[in-house]
């Protein structure tokens, strides 16, 4: 799986398909593989992006408290890296669903 880095943080992600982007954000300490069924379903219809949040899966695990602002910053940097500049469909589970409440 690909990863990208910024500020000494590695973020593991997948990007499959093409078209309108749908982004899957997992819950605390849950890997992106939790979305495998959704990824398989949507990848033929849309561009699917899913990531391992900081502290989970194959992403970096720095030793300090994580905040929603940090997770949102990671997602913003990933979308910039992937050159996704238009609106996205965002789907979250557990903590990942809080992204919807914390978006600017």
- Domain residue spans of the chain: 3-102
Distance of CA 43 to the CA centre of its chain: 15
d(CA 45, CA 22): 10
CATH code of the region 3-102 = 3.40.50.1820
- Say whether pLDDT at 74 is over 90: yes
Average pLDDT of the residues of the chain: 88
Note the pLDDT of residue 100: 59
What is the CB-side half-sphere exposure of residue 14 using CA atoms within 13 A? 21
- Say whether pLDDT at 101 is over 60: no
Note the pLDDT of residue 27: 80
What phi, psi does 47 have (nearest 5°)? Answer: -85, 120
> What is the average per-residue pLDDT within 33-52?
95
Note the pLDDT of residue 28: 76
d(CA 62, CA 48): 27
Query: Where does the pLDDT of residue 38 fall: very low under 50, low under 70, confident under 90, or very high at 90 and above?
Result: very high
> What is the average per-residue pLDDT within 28-42?
91
Beta bridge partners of 91: 24
């Amino acid at each position: 799986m690909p990863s990208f880095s910024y500020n000494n943080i590695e973020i593991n992600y997948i990007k499959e398909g093409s078209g309108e982007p749908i982004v899957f954000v997992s819950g605390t300490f849950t890997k992106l593989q939790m979305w495998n069924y959704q990824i398989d379903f949507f990848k033929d219809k849309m561009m699917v992006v899913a990531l391992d949040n900081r502290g989970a899966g194959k992403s970096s695990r720095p030793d300090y408290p994580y905040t929603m602002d940090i997770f949102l910053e990671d997602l913003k940097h990933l979308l910039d890296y992937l050159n996704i500049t238009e609106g996205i469909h965002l789907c979250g589970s557990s903590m990942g669903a809080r992204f919807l409440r914390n978006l600017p």
